[in-house]
Amino acid sequence: MNEEREVVILGAGPAGATAGGLLAKAGHDVLLLDRDTFPREHIGESLLPAEMPLFEALGFAPEGEAIPKAGADFVDERTGQTARFLFRDALPPAPAGAVQVERSVFDHRLAEHARKLGADLRYGVRARAVHTSAEGARVELGDGRTIHARFVVDATGRDRLMCGQLRAFERVEGFGVAAVWGHFDDLGNEAVAELADTGNITVLLLEQGWGWVIPLPNARLSVGFVSTERGVVCDAWFDERYAASPLLQRLTAGARRGPLRRVGDYSFKNTRPIGLRYGCIGDASAFLDPVFSSGVAFAMVGAAELARLLAPALREGREDDPQLLAPLEQKMQRAYDVFGALIHSFYHTALVQNLFFYDDPDPELRAGLISVLAGDLWREDNAFQNMLLRSGRRLERRQTLRNRRS
């Protein structure tokens, strides 16, 4: 049996749920599909202030399953150096903060909120292929059914359906290569109180990598380690780094650790994220690195921009323009350029020592760094951000020259 819909969105994570909710709220017929049945486990629990206005636009409140987050702490237990960056110290107008969330609960509530706004949400439905033409779009499902639509949004995350179909995968080199993580339950009362004081994510600086420590609701802690070396990430590698951290030993004393999970080769870019009657958002468009927690922010910001462009086009019959989402591609490229340069500096330069742990940093650069960490990436008056973009362009030119010589 075939079905006719206005917009089909593949994937009901933060990107798909945001796009689906905003389009449905604007009065459009939206079918939101996900291969999984929610709630389901997911990583990426530390949100940024950039998401907060989008929750307001959706009429969604994440507070019920969230811990308020004031900023980020950077800790090098080898040297005893620490640095704290609070979002309130960003360039004006400074954001108040963000939240830490249990993704299984958060994603489920956000998807169900899209349903409340009018999206037709269906779990356990896998898309197999997408075909587009000037006349319309067609989604082939795994059970043999076909759905016809005026427009298709790929929010399939790491499945990156259309990226694979179009052979548009481009690896991003030079970042972390693999991560292993787990959750600790039943934290002690003192640890819960200490973590809730700021709600901050803690970034542990390690040899050849880094670790994250994220407080979650219900006396839970997310702990993960990222390596820049291939072939070393395993359960034993996690155990070694966990055992070497006095902070983690203290916070998790008496707690229960759940199973460990691993992921690798996650840094990539989709070279064809937009086209005739389709657009890719979230991790289906690109993913850089888990450091600095940009994943959900980029997913939701990209989804909101897609909805802003697509809604009037559907009303006016312009959704067949292959360049309809060009402003979305440009907006997200700016975000990838800024964060890509920041991540490269984190891994390959003295950024940590010169700005994170420097005793007397330039106050303007420090405020600019915090604005970038908050996800405020589209302003022209951020001297630190402009410096990052210049360094990114220099790096790109050097890489182009190396490619030509080889």
- Are the beta carbons of 284 and 266 closer than 8 angstroms? no
Rounded (to 5) percent helix, strand, coil in the chain = 40, 25, 35
State the pLDDT confidence band at 393, using cuts at 50, 70 and 90: confident
Does the pLDDT value for residue 405 go beyond 70? no
State the pLDDT confidence band at 329, using cuts at 50, 70 and 90: very high
Which pair of structure tokens corresponds to residue 52? 């907060």
Closest CA to 146 of 4, 274, 245, 19: 4
**pLDDT tens digits, one per residue of 364-374:** 999 999 999 99
Does the pLDDT value for residue 350 go beyond 90? no
Where in the sequence of the chain do the CATH 3.50.50.60 domains occur?
Answer: 2-45+102-170+267-324
State the pLDDT confidence band at 402, using cuts at 50, 70 and 90: low
State the pLDDT confidence band at 398, using cuts at 50, 70 and 90: low
**257 CB contacts (<8 Å, ≥6 apart)?**
182, 183, 184, 185
Residue 298 — φ and ψ, nearest 5°? -65, -35
Mean pLDDT across 250-269:
96
Q: How much is the pLDDT for 161?
A: 98
SS (H, E, C) 224-277: EEEECCCCCCCHHHHHHHHHCCHHHHHHCCCCEECCCEEEECCCEEECCCEECC
Q: How much is the pLDDT for 351?
A: 78
CA distance 401 to 244: 41
Does the pLDDT value for residue 21 go beyond 90? yes
Q: How much is the pLDDT for 194?
A: 96
Q: How much is the pLDDT for 2?
A: 81
Closest CA to 245 of 200, 208, 210: 210
Q: How much is the pLDDT for 406?
A: 59
Where in the sequence of the chain do the CATH 3.30.9.100 domains occur?
Answer: 178-264
Q: How much is the pLDDT for 87?
A: 97
DSSP run (H or E) holding 280: strand 278-280
- Are the beta carbons of 15 and 282 closer than 8 angstroms? yes
Q: Mean pLDDT of all residues in the chain?
A: 94
Q: Are β-strands 146-154 and 2-10 bridged in parallel, bridged antiparallel, or unpaired?
A: parallel
Which pair of structure tokens corresponds to residue 221? 């802690």
AA identity, residue 88: R
CA distance 306 to 300: 10
Mean pLDDT across 276-303:
97
Residue 156 — φ and ψ, nearest 5°? -85, 10
**pLDDT tens digits, one per residue of 96-123:** 899 999 999 999 999 999 999 999 999 9
Which pair of structure tokens corresponds to residue 193? 């109180």
CA distance 181 to 2: 42
- Are the beta carbons of 388 and 307 closer than 8 angstroms? no
CA distance 385 to 341: 9
- How is residue 404 annotated by DSSP? H
State the pLDDT confidence band at 359, using cuts at 50, 70 and 90: confident
State the pLDDT confidence band at 357, using cuts at 50, 70 and 90: confident
Residue 9 — φ and ψ, nearest 5°? -115, 125
- Are the beta carbons of 203 and 73 closer than 8 angstroms? yes
Tell me the CA distances in angstroms from 134 to 149, 151, 218, 273, 276, one per residue in order. 12, 11, 51, 18, 7
Q: How much is the pLDDT for 266?
A: 93
313-327, 341-355, 385-399: segment of lowest average pLDDT: 385-399
Q: How much is the pLDDT for 356?
A: 82
- How is residue 353 annotated by DSSP? I
Q: How much is the pLDDT for 362?
A: 87
CA distance 296 to 266: 15
Region of 29 on the Ramachandran plot (φ > 0 left; ψ -120 to 50 alpha; else beta): beta
DSSP run (H or E) holding 18: helix 14-25
25-34, 168-177, 310-319: segment of lowest average pLDDT: 168-177
Give SS3 for 211: strand
**pLDDT tens digits, one per residue of 207-248:** 999 999 999 999 999 999 999 998 899 999 999 999 999 999
Query: Which CATH class name applies to 178-264?
Result: alpha beta
Region of 23 on the Ramachandran plot (φ > 0 left; ψ -120 to 50 alpha; else beta): alpha
State the pLDDT confidence band at 355, using cuts at 50, 70 and 90: confident
- Are the beta carbons of 202 and 247 closer than 8 angstroms? yes
- If you search the block for the tokens 């079918």, which residue do you land on? 31
**pLDDT tens digits, one per residue of 38-89:** 999 999 999 999 999 999 999 999 876 799 999 999 999 999 999 999 999 9
Q: How much is the pLDDT for 403?
A: 57
Q: How much is the pLDDT for 159?
A: 95
> What's the CATH architecture for 2-45+102-170+267-324?
3-Layer(bba) Sandwich (3.50)
Q: How much is the pLDDT for 401?
A: 58
**236 CB contacts (<8 Å, ≥6 apart)?**
none
